[in-house]
Structure 1
Amino acid sequence: MRFVSFLLLLISILLYHYYSTYYSDDMGNETLPILIIGGGLAGLSATVEAATLEPSVKVILVDKEANIGGNSAKATSGINAMTEPGDSLDAFERDTLASGGGLSNPDLVHKLVHESEEALAWLKLQDPTLDLGVVSQCGGHTHPRTHRCPPAPDGRPVPVGFRTITALKDRIAQLSNVQVWTSTRVANIYPEEKRVRLVKEGETLDLDVSAVVLTSGGFAGQTQELQQPEGTKTLLSEYAPQLLNTATTNGPWANGDGVRLGLAAGAATKDMEHIQVHPSGFVDPNNPNSGSKFLAPEALRAYGAVMLNADGHRFADELSRRDVLTKSIFEANSRGRGHLPPDYASCYLVLTEPMIEQFGKATASFYAKKGLFVQCNGLDEVAAYIQVDPTQLKDEFTRYDMHVVERKNDTSVKAAPDAFGKTVFPNPITSDGTYWVGIITPCVHYTMGGLAINSEAAVMSSKTNNPIPGLFAAGEVTSGVHGRNRLAGNSLLECVVYGRTAGRSASLYASEN
């Protein structure tokens, strides 16, 4: 009997130290661990920053999924940073504010832009082998500033989101004061009581913490009315019911858990009704009504891809902002004609072989193997595929290429825009070689709204409009940076800039309190 009692006592002690280990500073004072909720790029950035700033404080990163990475691991367009000649901080800031349509917080945008180069350098510091040297100009940008990875030496594609996540995961594995708990769901947070309640391995656990950082993403992953598996109403159905049953590029884990935790703790929210519908999700011809779509990266259009309606005509500036381009696709009204699905708006995306080479043939070939690209030998085959007259299609391409030639012949003079306002023409579209043709449709992609934060990533109270002590947040769970519409590449940048800020703020708060 004594042995059983001793064994139970020993188990209790071990569990206590596993779940609630305190770290002591040089004065013998005990410091509670920092809890970071969400293992995407924002959470990983916060974890590394907090753990390295104060090595004596334990950092616990929890994620409800079996693997960390979240939507960040799926990112393909890149991460923004002002590094190219001719660009400027002012131009980058203007582009971001213009895209936000007057709803962005200027202070948050200023910080995002002015710390962009440092963010890129910090990522490379964590993993010197991380190569973000491919730079393209995406929609809404006045200069090239979106960085991604070149193909591997053997030609395999290197997705920027997955590669960046891998770099930070490897860095975290080197930090002795970090624990990562996967398959762990946070049920409640009580910042003022310095306590959280979570469910780990089927057991409910109350954990004492010094600070909480929410980095759990947005709520664009469940576009049905009811959330699965809980059966409660989705946040999307509450704030943007017009988008119910629209396809999404998100994983189902993006259901707004962090927003709900913040609301329950008294947090303010902002811009919850502003949901970004990305103009280019790939349509799988073998499963056109799938509710989940592969994103057709914006970099495809950055290298000159054109968009055609069912009649084989261009109808928009392919490098417009995402919201503008999405509206244009809906207005093109090409449903159910040719290969285009009858149930929702879509159009054709057409690239030449040189565009594909510049984008990355290995990545494009991956999409082709998935059935998302059809390869056509010459313009006549393109016309036959989309079921239009080849002469008419040739005329359309010739008109486009006139602008390409005009800018190539006289780079010193700003040429007039085309009929759709386009001023950047990366490559000619007329070619005797192979064309790559895909079908794209607008998809729910990103939630601009979320918890209100200040420039130190502190979550603001809905009652006092002051920071909630000990509660911080970063990434898509927050609001204020993107306003009505997010620029391509600013999401990964926000994750690093504000993830680091949140980790730093949480670490300082833990040390001072």
Structure 2
Amino acid sequence: MACFPTSQAIVVGGGLGGMSAANTVVENGGRVVLLDKSSFCGGNSTKATSGINGAGTKTQKAKGIPDNAEIFTQDTLKGGAKKPELAKLLCDNSADDVDWLVEKFNLDLSLVARLGGHSQPRTHRGKERFPGMTITYALIQMLEKVAEKTDLARIITKAKVFKLVTEGNVCVGCVYEKGGQNFQEFGPVILASGGFGADFTSNSLLAQYRPDLLHLPTTNGEHCTGDGIKMGEAIGAKTIDLEWVQVHPTGLVKPDDADAKIKFLAAEALRGVGGLILNADGKRFCNELGRRDYVTGEMWKSKPPFRLCLNKAASDEIIWHCKHYTGRGVMKYYSSGEDLAKDMGVDLSVLEQSHEEHYQAAKKTETHPDEGAWPAYPSGKSHDEASGKTGSGKKFFHNILPGSAVRHEPFYVAIITPVIHYCMGGLLIDTDSACVGPNDKAIPGLYAAGEVAGGVHGNNRLGGNSLLDCVVFGRVAGRAAAKYMLGADFKPVDLREVSGGGLTGAVESSKLAGGSYEDKMNSATTAAGAAPMANGGAAGGMTLAEVAKHNSKADCWVVVDGQVLDVTSFLSEHPGGELAILTFAGKDATEEFNMIHPPDVIGKYAPDSVIGNVGSGVAVAAAGGAAKGGAPARKDKGGALSNHHAWGHLDGAQTNWRVDLDENPGVFILNIKSYFNATWFLVLAILYEVCATIFSAKNIKISNDRLGLTRSAILLILFIVIHAVGNLHVFKGPDDFNGYGYFYVRLYWTGFGLPANIVEEYILLSVLLHVFVGLKRTWDMKLALVSSQGVGVLNLAISGLMLLTFMTIHLFQFRFGDTDQFGPYYIRPPPYLINFWGILSLNLFWTDASYVEPVGVRDIYALEFQIFKNPLWSFFYIFSVAVFMVHACLGWKKVTPVLGIPRGHIGKVEIIGYGIMIVMGLVYISFPVYVMATKPFSGYEDGIQTPGRIEQ
């Protein structure tokens, strides 16, 4: 072993996962250095709006909520988690870790709500500000104070980590770039660098695993490019579930910038307090409290634009969210339901009926909760027809409104659209949050926490579990790294003591007197936490009219608490994205700013942006000479398809070739053009998948990656189609059928001396790959769900095993079946594989040219009649073909979304696929039916056959 320091842990990423890990390392007696890619710590965690889950917390107990870790674990498994050990760890630690936040960081998490997919209210948030910002900022402050008072912590921003350093199989540090130079840090590494939901480049993880989502907008900051996952893979860390990217149903559409690629997210709590989702016709169509993937799926089926509507009781419960969204221009206040109906272009009676039906379902649930007519989510029966028809009936109702009250009821309403939100997949971790290597053992010295880690959430994440994931696995990783470093010296300490007394509140100012940030970003701060004003701004101040002129991306001023800020150079560095500031360009943003940020933020992180005060005097020049003159704002056009879908403008949109789906069928009942387009995209996808399978296969790697299933499935479907077409030659008689068999089995020179040809060998490998990956995914991911979701989750596995049994018997009956009893069947094989001169007569696999010597081949025509004359074997074959059709259709539904087909065509591609499977099934079934109903007949070359070859 080379000598390197191990007295510090390295945390990569300054979001909640990284902050939880860093604070926990210190709390357990270790040193830590935190490296963050951005100018400011916080990451996506600061934008979390719903809260953090905890089961069995002190807050819940005080409110009499009967929740515990076991109930939470079951909800999480039902919600999509596939690894019970990680789900259990998440839920078991939830109460202690939420209480840790409250007690160690003096946080207010006194409000508790029920979000979609939860059977109990367990999502905690405070009375003010977004919970993500509140929680993350408190942990940032604590680490800053530790850095001020001690040498236990360092925080380095604008540090882009790009490589992990290894010694043998041990991770011993990392390399990062800052200011154009490369630096190294040594010690165990905790990756907390987030997901890849904002990387839309052609070689991104998103393009590789979910190309069908590239057109969607995202809620992720630009820093989310999957760096940690790529670095981990580079040293052999395994990944899991990278194809599971969560699309959130409630991205907020800003009417004057509808095509923005980065969207604000409507907190799931808005639905938790009673918000209803209405389609363009003003009708409900789903369970608003269902899983995110379910709600999104129902939106694709319904008519946009979609509106999230909160009545007065609901909006009062979460009023500062509503005011914040209204201030940002992504939510609108209506003084009455009548005004809302008019703006939607629907009759008021429609809104009244939608609310009345919801109201009656709630009342019936109060009196007869288990006597509904519809299946409910997560279990039981529901009285709510609107959601019950989708198989996910609503069971929990809150702040309901009778239809008769709609006319005069005030509403807060937002237009919503699906958005890329969260990457469930990432680096596979164990219960110590250690990254798992290629030998299924932990890589020493490498840990992961937060969105960069995979396996925690499975194929869908429940709302409120993201912040919890960051805290729980950040703390698990921090403890494990501290123990790895310190060994016997591992010991807990009090954060409040090492930080010099801790925090007196979540918004206490930190002066960074010791300079924990290497950039000395607070060097201009004053004792009050605000910067001195440039150019004597206080002398006369600036008018709001002057500020209003600076309203573009190239020249952006805003007003906060009477101070004028030039934030032009700060736009690209803002953790919430440019749009969060540009919304208020040239305006007073005080109310909305203070809803989110603690009062010392400007003084700490952007002191140089303050250029003066608002007043009545002459305007002053901005510090730094920013461009003036009000250049027009550039708009991020983003993904036009999703935005046109959100606004209901799919027809006639010519700005993007994927948008022009031509949904008008014209004179036809079916949209012929759209089915033609869908077929074209399907052909392209199949060609790509087949070529990728043959020519781009990498070294064998055993994983849970669905790619092994999808690509082998496509190749097998292609083979099955070709094989079925070939088998149709049985109807032409023994010459054609045996000639086809000879062609298929031998292909002349392609056998390479082996018992089978290269096609058979490749198909066999594909079958083995398909079976092996399918069984492994079932073992790793599906079996754990049987107890919570029933045996239905094993449909593909059960039908697949039945098909494997059939294929084994079928091969022994036909491919290896004995035909010696009939003697060889003689054909004259064409010298160039195909009889080009026989195409019109379809005798493709033999020729009647006398100069071609006859060749004896297996008589599979006779074998077919011998086997299928037995009714039992015929029934077995027909039954197995029916199982194949079911298996293929179930699998096809899972395959189509990952083929890279434009989303608007996926539904039609599914239908086309089902049609192909059914037709292929009927073709295969026709063989035994034909044999049982007819007698064999002689071929054209009967004169050269063995007399009495088969009974006529």
| TM-score for both structures, normalised by structure 2 | 0.46
User: Partner residue of 1:297?
Assistant: 267
More helix per residue: 2
1:18-167 matches, cutoff 5 A: 31-54=6-29, 57-83=30-56, 84=60, 85-100=65-80, 104-128=82-106, 130-151=107-128, 158-167=129-138
Determine helix, strand or coil for the equivalent of 2:127. Answer: coil
1:326-341 matches, cutoff 5 A: 326-334=296-304, 340=305
2:345 is aligned with 1:387: yes
Task: Compute the displacement of 1:408 (Å).
Answer: 4.6
Query: Residue 309 of structure 2: which of 332, 350, 355 is its match?
Result: 350
User: Partner residue of 1:373?
Assistant: 331
AA at the equivalent of 1:166: Y
When the two structures are aligned, how many residues end up with a matched partner?
A: 453
Distance in 2, matches of 1:52 and 1:486, equals 29
User: Partner residue of 2:394?
Assistant: 422
2:296 is aligned with 1:308: no
Task: Compute the displacement of 1:162 (Å).
Answer: 0.5
2:180 is aligned with 1:202: yes
The answer on whether the counterparts of 2:283 and 2:351 sit within 8 Å (CA) in structure 1 is yes
Query: Residue 141 of structure 2: which of 162, 167, 170 is its match?
Result: 170
AA at the equivalent of 2:223: W
Determine helix, strand or coil for the equivalent of 2:184. Answer: strand
The answer on whether the counterparts of 2:357 and 2:384 sit within 8 Å (CA) in structure 1 is no
Query: Mind listing any 5+ residue stretches in structure 2 that lack a counterpart?
Result: 373-380, 388-392, 489-952
| TM-score for both structures, normalised by structure 1 | 0.85
Determine helix, strand or coil for the equivalent of 2:421. Answer: strand
- RMSD between aligned residues: 1.8
Deviation string, structure 1 residues 303-334 (Cα, Å, up to 9, x no partner)? 11111111111100110000000000010032
Query: Residue 227 of structure 2: which of 254, 257, 270 is its match?
Result: 257
The answer on whether the counterparts of 1:225 and 1:244 sit within 8 Å (CA) in structure 2 is no
Distance in 2, matches of 1:442 and 1:211, equals 38
Task: Compute the displacement of 1:88 (Å).
Answer: 2.8
User: Partner residue of 2:458?
Assistant: 483
Deviation string, structure 1 residues 218-245 (Cα, Å, up to 9, x no partner)? 11122x234xxxxxx1110111000012
User: Partner residue of 2:661?
Assistant: none
The answer on whether the counterparts of 1:351 and 1:429 sit within 8 Å (CA) in structure 2 is no
Determine helix, strand or coil for the equivalent of 1:187. Answer: strand
Q: 1:458 to 1:386 in 2, by over 3 A?
A: same
User: Partner residue of 1:472?
Assistant: 447
Distance in 1, matches of 2:171 and 2:76, equals 38
Deviation string, structure 1 residues 52-96 (Cα, Å, up to 9, x no partner)? 211xx4210000100000000110011000143222322211110
The answer on whether the counterparts of 2:171 and 2:443 sit within 8 Å (CA) in structure 1 is no
Task: Compute the displacement of 1:193 (Å).
Answer: 6.0
Task: Compute the displacement of 1:377 (Å).
Answer: 2.2
AA at the equivalent of 1:379: G
User: Partner residue of 2:432?
Assistant: 456
The answer on whether the counterparts of 2:35 and 2:157 sit within 8 Å (CA) in structure 1 is yes
AA at the equivalent of 2:480: S
1:180-195 matches, cutoff 5 A: 180-191=155-166, 192=170, 194-195=172-173
Distance in 2, matches of 1:390 and 1:292, equals 33
Distance in 1, matches of 2:293 and 2:382, equals 23
Task: Compute the displacement of 1:127 (Å).
Answer: 1.3
User: Partner residue of 1:320?
Assistant: 290
User: Partner residue of 1:26?
Assistant: none
Deviation string, structure 1 residues 149-182 (Cα, Å, up to 9, x no partner)? 113xxxxxx1100110111111112322000000
Distance in 1, matches of 2:452 and 2:165, equals 18
AA at the equivalent of 1:171: M
The answer on whether the counterparts of 2:315 and 2:322 sit within 8 Å (CA) in structure 1 is yes
Bigger-Rg structure (1/2): 2
Distance in 1, matches of 2:94 and 2:159, equals 32
User: Partner residue of 1:440?
Assistant: 416
AA at the equivalent of 2:384: D
Distance in 1, matches of 2:49 and 2:345, equals 31
Determine helix, strand or coil for the equivalent of 1:286. Answer: helix
The answer on whether the counterparts of 2:162 and 2:227 sit within 8 Å (CA) in structure 1 is no
Distance in 2, matches of 1:186 and 1:465, equals 25
Determine helix, strand or coil for the equivalent of 1:459. Answer: strand
Q: 1:512 to 1:416 in 2, by over 3 A?
A: closer
The answer on whether the counterparts of 1:34 and 1:210 sit within 8 Å (CA) in structure 2 is yes
AA at the equivalent of 2:419: C
AA at the equivalent of 2:317: Q
Task: Compute the displacement of 1:211 (Å).
Answer: 0.6
AA at the equivalent of 1:438: A
Query: Mind listing any 5+ residue stretches in structure 1 that lack a counterpart?
Result: 1-21, 23-29, 152-157, 227-232, 335-339, 341-346
